[in-house]
């Protein structure tokens, strides 16, 4: 396999566990590249902007020819499509946030011709428009007054058309990491493709579910893992690495586990929220304290921002780097290189390895059951 936009290697760990050999990683972030070197020193790395790297260079460094990769994976930076950002969409060409990088991924797929590809991104891609207009401008206009390229979902329609135009057999689905043994309610979009028309058994069947669901009650699935399952034994550690909350953190003492800014005394809410007090929406990410008995909400790139606060259930501090890594299901001995803020970002952007493992099993099943594939094994059976 070849890994593009590698990040902290969460996706790669899942594929390695299934049996894929990682031949090459690529990322623009120097801290990511150092993290890869610290954990997988023998794997070649291209530490550069993919826009400046030819497909020939990628294949050459991986020791493969055109058609040689079994699978190419990638999750381009998602800030351009995230509902938490400014959503510049496909027009965002900034190196660290580029909404256009999905087309660089497609360029490599077209030129390298792997047997399969796996693309991962935020679910905000589903509703992103080709041309962004502000929420307030959108609310002022009637539906027929909104330009066609500014209508919600047009960016995804364009991107999906581009994936289909490769000639690959394409499937897509939104997967919740909690359904695959991750102690985190984290939804992500996956698009998978098969070059030779082989059917990929995708999406993977969930192994976990809501504790009160019939499947869990009847024993067909395991209950979702909780924050307590992930980090309970870290709660009294004094060596945890984290950034303290800024001055506004003083208001968190009023927030109970599972609560948010609405639990702050009413006479202090306006002071605590500042200008956001007058904003629309639930704003439940503000002053959010986690609950031991539920999965963590989606880990963000920084738990110390007022609007994306992730406070420990019992202590008036943000989740630590070590707790972040546990919730994402990285091995305890996995090394993250960089500043504390860079580590938060790296871990928060990663695909949880158990979710990657579930997707990787689908690809490996397609590989093994394809009679025309040199890696196939007609006698191999899978029990997913």
Write down the catalytic residue from 33, 47, 78, 329.
78
Mapping DSSP to helix (H, G, I), strand (E, B) and coil, where does residue 299 land? coil
Mapping DSSP to helix (H, G, I), strand (E, B) and coil, where does residue 190 land? strand
Length of the chain: 384
Structure tokens given for 328: 């994402």
Mapping DSSP to helix (H, G, I), strand (E, B) and coil, where does residue 64 land? coil
329 is catalytic: no
Between CA 257 and CA 239 the distance in angstroms is 23
Structure tokens given for 256: 């109970």
Residue 65, CA atoms < 13 Å, CB-side half-sphere: 0
Mapping DSSP to helix (H, G, I), strand (E, B) and coil, where does residue 317 land? coil
Looking only at the bridges linking them, the beta strands covering 296-297 and 2-4 are: unpaired
How many CB atoms within 10 Å of residue 125? 28
**Residue 97 Cα distances to 75, 81, 82, 93, angstroms:** 12, 9, 10, 7
Beta-carbon contacts of 71 under 8 Å, excluding residues fewer than 6 positions away, are 1, 2, 15, 20, 114, 115, 116, 117, 118, 363
User: DSSP string of 210-277?
Assistant: -TTSHHHHTTSSEEPP-HHHHHGGGTT-S----PPP-GGGGGGGGPPTT--GGGS-HHHHHHHHGGGG
| Sign for the pseudo-dihedral over CA of 154, 155, 156, 162 | positive
Structure tokens given for 95: 């190196």
Q: Where are the alpha helices (DSSP H) in the chain?
A: 10-18, 30-39, 55-62, 101-112, 135-140, 154-165, 214-217, 227-231, 266-273, 321-327, 340-348, 353-369
Q: Which residues are annotated as catalytic?
A: 78
């Amino acid at each position: 396999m070849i890994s593009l936009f590698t990040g902290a290697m969460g996706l790669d760990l899942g594929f390695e566990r299934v049996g894929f050999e990682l031949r090459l990683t690529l990322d623009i972030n120097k801290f990511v590249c150092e993290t890869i070197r610290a954990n997988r020193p023998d794997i070649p790395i291209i530490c550069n902007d993919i826009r400046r790297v030819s497909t020939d260079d990628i294949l050459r460094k991986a020791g493969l020819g055109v058609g040689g990769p079994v699978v190419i994976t990638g999750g381009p930076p998602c800030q351009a499509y995230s509902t938490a950002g400014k959503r510049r969409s496909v027009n965002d060409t900034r190196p660290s946030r580029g909404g256009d990088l999905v087309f660089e991924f497609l360029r490599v797929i077209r030129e390298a011709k792997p047997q399969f590809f796996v693309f991962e991104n935020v679910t905000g891609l589903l509703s992103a428009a080709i041309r962004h207009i502000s929420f307030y401008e959108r609310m002022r206009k009637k539906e027929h007054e909104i330009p066609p390229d500014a209508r919600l979902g047009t960016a995804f329609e364009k991107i999906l058309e581009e994936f289909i135009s490769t000639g690959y057999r394409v499937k897509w689905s939104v997967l919740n990491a909690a359904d695959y043994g991750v102690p985190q309610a984290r939804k992500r979009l996956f698009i998978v493709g098969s070059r030779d028309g082989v059917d990929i058994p995708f999406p993977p069947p969930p192994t976990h579910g809501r504790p009160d669901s019939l499947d869990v009650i009847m024993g067909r699935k395991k209950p979702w893992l909780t924050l307590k399952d992930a980090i309970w034994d870290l709660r009294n550690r004094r060596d945890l690495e984290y950034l303290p909350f800024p001055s506004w953190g003083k208001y968190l003492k009023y927030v109970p586990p599972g609560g948010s800014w609405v639990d702050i005394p009413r006479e202090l809410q306006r002071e605590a929220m500042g200008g956001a007090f007058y904003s629309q929406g639930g704003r439940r990410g503000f002053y959010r304290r986690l609950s031991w008995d539920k999965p963590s909400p989606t880990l963000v790139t920084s738990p110390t921002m007022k609007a994306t606060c992730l406070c420990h259930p019992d202590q008036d501090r943000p989740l630590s780097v070590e707790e972040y890594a546990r919730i994402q299901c990285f091995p305890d001995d996995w090394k993250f290189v960089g500043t504390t803020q860079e580590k938060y970002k790296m871990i928060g952007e990663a695909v949880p390895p158990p979710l990657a493992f579930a997707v990787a099993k689908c690809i490996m099943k397609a590989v093994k059951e394809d009679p025309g594939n040199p890696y196939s094994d007609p006698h191999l059976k899978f029990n997913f």
